[in-house]
Amino acid sequence: MFAKCFDPTGARHGLPTYPWRYAPDGLATKRQLRARGLRPGGQSIAAQIMRPRYRRGPLVAYLYRVDRAKPVRPMTPGKWAALAKANRARRTCPACRQDAGYVIPTSVGMCVPCAYPEEQRAA
């Protein structure tokens, strides 16, 4: 059956082809990489998996090498520090200078105990 031309489905000739669910270890689809916080990172397709469908062309998914995948967002220590600082600033209440533990809503402008002291006492 693989002698048939599968081009309209996106299947590629000359690529290692595996049945659906039988992808070898170390290879993953884009979706599987994404679930691990990875992306193909410019590497070429390593293989493809195919699932035959009744009266339609097979479903094709491309596989990428996990060891050549890259993190979705490469973060440098400097970027992490800047992000942490920005998040801390957004969590710090300007009224009591405490880290509220959540991002202060700009509509309120301060932490909940400062914004609603009455309701806090009632609760």
Go through 78-111 and write b for each residue having 16 or more CB atoms within 10 A of its CB, e for each that does not: eeeeeeeeeeeeeebbeeeeeebeeebeeeeebb
Q: Which is nearer to Zn ion, 14 or 101 (CB)?
A: 101
Binding residue for Zn ion (CB under 5 A) from 35, 86, 96, 103? 96
Q: Which is nearer to Zn ion, 17 or 92 (CB)?
A: 92
- Based on the shown chain and the rule CB under 5 A, indicate whether residue 104 belongs to the binding site for Zn ion: no
Q: How far is CA 107 from the centre of its chain?
A: 30
Q: How far is CA 92 from the centre of its chain?
A: 28
Binding residue for Zn ion (CB under 5 A) from 61, 69, 104, 111? 111
Question: CB within 8 A of 1, min separation 6: which ones?
Answer: 52
**Binding segment toward Zn ion, per CB under 5 A, in 1-9, 19-27, 62-70, 95-103:** 95-103
Sites of contact with Zn ion (CB under 5 A)? 93, 95-96, 110-111, 114
